[in-house]
A = this chain, B = another copy of it.
C-alpha cells in the first residue's frame, strides 16, 4: 500500500501529533519492520481495551491470521507486556486458559509534576493503575531549578524503587511544568511563576530513563482525552495552579503550535489596557482569573493552600470571595468566547485547580459565553480528574508510548 499523496510529506514543526506528546507521535516507518511494530501495538491496544481476550479473539479483532497473532503475542509475553491468565481465572472467553491480559508487572510510566506549591511523582502500570506515589508540599516560587529538581529526583527514585518492589520496571519519565516548553521536550523556555527560563531539565533529572518534559496544561488535556471516556475529541482544556494554562485538542490530538507554545489561554487579552502581565502584555486573562488576581480581588493574603482557602470561603458564603470568583468567571468567559470563535470546539473543560472552584466560576463563565454567542453555546464541563490531571497525564504519556510502540521495550525494536 502506498500513502495518499498528501500524507507522505515529512512532519513539520507545528504539526499535530498522536497520543503521547512527543514519542508515540511519530508514525512508524512503512517497512516490514514498521508493519511488525504496528501490529504489536494493535495487539496491545486490543487486549488493553477489550481484554482479557484469547489469541483467536485478538486475531479476529485486528484482522490478522491466528498464526501471525500468536507470533506477536509470544513476543509480547517474552517482553513482559502481556501475560496469560491461568485456567482457573474466570474470564469472558470460552477457553480461560488461553486468555491474554495486559501485564500488571511489566513496564510502567513515571509521571512527575513541578508545581509552584508542590512536587509530585507517580507510577502508572500498563493497565492504567497508579501503583506508587509521592508528594512534597512547599513553595518552589523563586527557587533555582537545581535544588527543586534534586528534591524531585529523590521523589522519582523513591517511586521508581517502590514500583520495582511491585515487580514493575520504569520505561520512561515525563515531567509536567507550569511553563512553556521547547519542542525538544526538555527545555523550559519560560516558567514565570517559578522564575525559570531557558532551563534544560535533562542534566538535572535521572539519566537512566527516557525523558519528556511538557507543559502541565498539555498533560492535563491529554489526561482528559485518555482517561475520560466521555471526553469529546475536540475541546479546549483550561487548567490553573497559579497561572492559567490551556490545551487545545483537535480531532483527538493535542495542538502544539510552531514552537510548542499553543494553548496559552492565560495570555489572551481580556481588556487591552488592563494590568501589566508577566508575559509583557496587558490585561491578559491571568490578570483577572489567575489565583493571585482572585485572592487580591477578594482581599485575601496569598499564603498556604490558596485554592483550598478560596473554595472554603466561597462555600461559607463569603461575599468578597464569591464576587472575586464571579469576576474571574466573567474574564474566563470573555477569553473563551475568543477561543470558541477561533476553534469551534465541542466543549470547554475546566481542569486543574479550577475544577475545585467550578461551582462559583461556572455561572458567570457560562453567562458570558451565552450572551456573546448568537448560535448554540459551547458546552462547559468540569474535569473529574481535578488537580491530579497533569500528573496522571504525564505518567500515562509514557504508558501510551509503550502501547503505541511495544517494540521499544524488551530490546525487540
Q: Which residues of A contact B (CB under 8 A)?
A: 1-7, 9, 11-16, 18-19, 27-28, 30, 35, 38-39, 41-42, 45, 62-64, 180, 189-190, 232-234, 246, 248, 250-252, 255-265, 267-272, 278-282, 334-335, 337-339, 341-346, 371-375, 403-404
Asked if A257 and B337 make an inter-chain contact with CB atoms under 8 angstroms apart, the answer reads no
Asked if B345 and A343 make an inter-chain contact with CB atoms under 8 angstroms apart, the answer reads no
Asked if B334 and A269 make an inter-chain contact with CB atoms under 8 angstroms apart, the answer reads yes
Min CB–CB distance A52 → chain B (angstroms): 19
Select one of B35, B189, B267 contacting A2, CB under 8 A. B35
**Which residues of the partner chain B approach A15 to less than 8 Å between Cβ atoms?**
233, 250-251
**Which residues of the partner chain B approach A371 to less than 8 Å between Cβ atoms?**
280-281
Q: What is the count of identical protomers in the complex? A: 2
What are 9 pairs between A and B in contact, CB < 8 Å? Answer: A2-B42, A12-B233, A12-B234, A14-B345, A15-B250, A16-B251, A257-B345, A260-B344, A342-B342
Asked if A233 and B14 make an inter-chain contact with CB atoms under 8 angstroms apart, the answer reads yes
**Which residues of the partner chain B approach A12 to less than 8 Å between Cβ atoms?**
233-234, 251
Asked if B272 and A270 make an inter-chain contact with CB atoms under 8 angstroms apart, the answer reads yes
Q: Assuming the A-B contacts A42-B2, A251-B16, are A374 and B279 also in contact, with contact meaning beta carbons closer than 8 angstroms in the complex?
A: yes
Chief secondary structure at chain A's binding surface: loop
Asked if B341 and A268 make an inter-chain contact with CB atoms under 8 angstroms apart, the answer reads yes
Asked if B1 and A252 make an inter-chain contact with CB atoms under 8 angstroms apart, the answer reads no
**Which residues of the partner chain B approach A278 to less than 8 Å between Cβ atoms?**
374
**Which residues of the partner chain B approach A279 to less than 8 Å between Cβ atoms?**
372-374
**Which residues of the partner chain B approach A251 to less than 8 Å between Cβ atoms?**
11-12, 14-16
Select one of B38, B259, B343, B403 contacting A257, CB under 8 A. B343
**Which residues of the partner chain B approach A264 to less than 8 Å between Cβ atoms?**
341-342, 344
**Which residues of the partner chain B approach A233 to less than 8 Å between Cβ atoms?**
12, 14-15
With A and B bound together, what is the CA distance between A310 and B248 in angstroms? 38
Min CB–CB distance A41 → chain B (angstroms): 5
Q: Assuming the A-B contacts A12-B251, A14-B251, are A39 and B271 also in contact, with contact meaning beta carbons closer than 8 angstroms in the complex?
A: no
Asked if B246 and A342 make an inter-chain contact with CB atoms under 8 angstroms apart, the answer reads yes
Select one of B41, B256, B342 contacting A4, CB under 8 A. B41
**Which residues of the partner chain B approach A271 to less than 8 Å between Cβ atoms?**
271-272
Asked if A337 and B268 make an inter-chain contact with CB atoms under 8 angstroms apart, the answer reads yes
With A and B bound together, what is the CA distance between A234 and B263 in angstroms? 15
